[in-house]
């Protein structure tokens, strides 16, 4: 049986490696402003992206290059050069959003598999067929599509791969077709520079142009003013339904500009969900424990398993962002011998350890600290906070850049976390 692919975001070379370490089969990322995430595109140089592709292939993994922006006429010459340069790096596919760019990629790099971006808004068999005939080997369907419609598309086009988003930020507008930040700040969302204006708090007014009178409207208590703030997508609890459909080839996590911990945690949670489904041990509480540790805007299962008109809980109206259940307190260095502090750490703190999947660490008790298992999870506690330069600390804080010695060796990219003191508290923007 062919397993569904787990596709994770790679905003940097480090996040690419982390996603693979925590279970991703493939990652997507881009270089330059032809990607829909300019910020993450700037994080990748051509050299870094080439290294990432080489790293992926050496581990039997895949990299999909995003060329999914909406170019202007003045950019077409540069776009052609970019397509050729990206093709020379030998990624496993291009992700593109428009018919013109799809054709251009096919003409310039004819052997490159082409994946159609969710920005193309494919919702039905007719559109899927047209893009397939134009050369798209995979379609990343609109986020508003239903599982029933995916089944219908696969029935008519069995050779066309289908990819769906299962986790991450949701756009207020239809599949990302938004001009709000263009209007307010001149940053064009569909050219990769969305300012997330829908996440802001707004006040409502009523104006009388004849008299010049302006009234501020008082909102109903508890409703809030985040009137365009969509909750984050979380379909981990529905992965069994998605995989049982038999029509989804790849499940995708949004978030190239999010943290390394986000890349790790989402990859781990959905890797477990996929593997547990095939092993007939599916347990959604296990995956939600991981995902609830992330900062989020509240979670929704959106539209894949429920039609849009059936939903009235997809917006977070009274806050923009909330803390997750846990706070990242440290990350292990590449050598596995020390960690860098990300949050205040003191001796005797009980710290939960988040390993890359398949990793094992010795249970020890020595002068530096101890590692132990409790209730099916792995923990660590320090007796002494000793820096690499030999200095001993009573406590360390996130601003401290000195590597701190570990009681035993840990796999690179291991994360440490503690319960959030303000768990699920409001943390606007």
Measure the CA–CA gap between 18 and 187, rounded to whole angstroms: 30
Task: Identify whether 203 is part of a domain.
Answer: no
CATH of the domain at 248: 3.20.20.70
pLDDT at position 170, please? 82
Q: How many domains does the chain have?
A: 2
Please, which residues have CB within 8 angstroms of residue 385's CB and are 6 or more apart in sequence?
A: 345, 346, 347, 392, 393, 394, 395, 396, 404
8 A C-beta contact, residue 59 and residue 358 = no
Please, which residues have CB within 8 angstroms of residue 93's CB and are 6 or more apart in sequence?
A: 62, 64, 65, 112, 113, 114, 115, 137, 138
Tens-digit pLDDT profile for residues 337-357: 999 999 999 999 999 999 998
End position of a domain, from candidates 309, 344, 364? 309
Task: Identify whether 346 is part of a domain.
Answer: yes
CATH of the domain at 347: 2.40.30
Task: Identify whether 197 is part of a domain.
Answer: no
Give every residue of the chain whose pLDDT is below 70, as ranges.
Answer: 1, 33, 35-42, 174-177, 183, 186, 188-193, 219-224, 307-313, 315-319, 422-429
**Model confidence, pTM:** 0.88
Tens-digit pLDDT profile for residues 154-205: 999 999 999 999 999 887 776 666 777 776 776 766 655 677 777 777 777 7
Task: Identify whether 296 is part of a domain.
Answer: yes
Query: Is residue 53 located within the same domain as residue 139?
Result: yes
Task: Identify whether 225 is part of a domain.
Answer: no
End position of a domain, from candidates 309, 341, 365? 309
Query: Is residue 155 located within the same domain as residue 267?
Result: yes
Helix (H) or strand (E) holding 8: strand 5-9
End position of a domain, from candidates 278, 309, 340? 309
Query: Is residue 305 located within the same domain as residue 352?
Result: no
Query: Is residue 270 located within the same domain as residue 159?
Result: yes
- State which residues form the domain around 259: 5-175+230-309
pLDDT at position 303, please? 85
CA angle 79-63-126, nearest 5°? Answer: 70
Task: Identify whether 347 is part of a domain.
Answer: yes
Which of 315, 264, 316, 310 is closest to 291 using CA atoms? 264
- Angle of helix 13-21 relative to helix 260-278, nearest 10 degrees, comes to 30
Query: Is residue 166 located within the same domain as residue 29?
Result: yes
Query: Is residue 346 located within the same domain as residue 253?
Result: no
Task: Identify whether 195 is part of a domain.
Answer: no
């Amino acid at each position: 049986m062919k397993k569904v692919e787990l596709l994770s975001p790679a905003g940097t070379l480090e996040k690419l490696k982390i996603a693979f370490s925590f279970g991703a089969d493939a990652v997507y990322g881009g270089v330059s402003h032809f990607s829909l995430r300019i910020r993450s595109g700037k994080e990748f140089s051509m050299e870094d992206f080439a290294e990432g592709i080489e790293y992926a292939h050496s581990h039997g993994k895949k990299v999909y290059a995003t060329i999914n922006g909406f170019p202007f006429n003045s950019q077409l010459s540069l776009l052609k050069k970019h397509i050729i340069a990206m093709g020379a790096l030998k990624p496993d596919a291009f992700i593109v959003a428009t018919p013109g760019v799809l054709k251009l990629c096919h003409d310039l790099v004819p052997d490159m598999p082409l994946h159609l971006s969710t920005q193309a808004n494919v919702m039905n068999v007719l559109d899927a067929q047209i893009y397939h005939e134009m050369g798209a080997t995979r379609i990343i369907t609109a986020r508003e599509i239903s599982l029933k419609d995916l089944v219908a598309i696969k029935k008519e086009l069995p050779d066309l791969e289908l990819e769906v988003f299962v986790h991450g930020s949701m756009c207020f507008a239809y599949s990302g077709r938004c001009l709000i930040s263009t209007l307010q700040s001149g940053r064009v969302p569909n050219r990769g520079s969305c300012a997330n204006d829908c996440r802001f708090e707004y006040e409502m007014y009523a104006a009388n142009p004849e008299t010049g009178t302006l009234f501020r409207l008082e909102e109903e208590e508890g409703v809030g003013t985040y009137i365009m703030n969509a909750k984050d997508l979380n379909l981990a609890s529905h992965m069994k339904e998605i995989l049982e459909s038999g029509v989804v080839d790849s499940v995708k996590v949004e978030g190239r500009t999010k943290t390394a911990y986000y890349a790790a945690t989402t990859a781990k949670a959905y890797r477990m969900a996929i593997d547990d489904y095939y092993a007939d041990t599916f347990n959604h509480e296990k995956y939600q424990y991981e995902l609830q540790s992330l900062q989020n805007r509240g979670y929704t299962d959106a539209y894949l398993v429920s039609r849009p008109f059936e939903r009235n809980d997809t917006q977070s109206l009274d806050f923009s962002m909330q803390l997750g259940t846990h706070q990242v307190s440290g990350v292990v260095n590449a050598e596995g011998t020390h960690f860098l502090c990300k949050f205040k750490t003191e001796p005797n703190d009980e710290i939960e350890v988040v390993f890359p999947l398949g990793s094992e660490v010795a249970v020890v008790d020595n002068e530096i600290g101890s590692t132990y298992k409790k209730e099916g999870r792995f923990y660590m506690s320090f007796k002494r906070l000793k820096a690499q330069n030999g200095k001993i600390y009573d406590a360390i804080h996130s601003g401290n850049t000195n590597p701190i010695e570990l009681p035993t060796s840990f796999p690179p990219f291991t994360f440490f976390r503690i319960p959030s003191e303000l768990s699920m508290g409001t943390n606007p923007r």
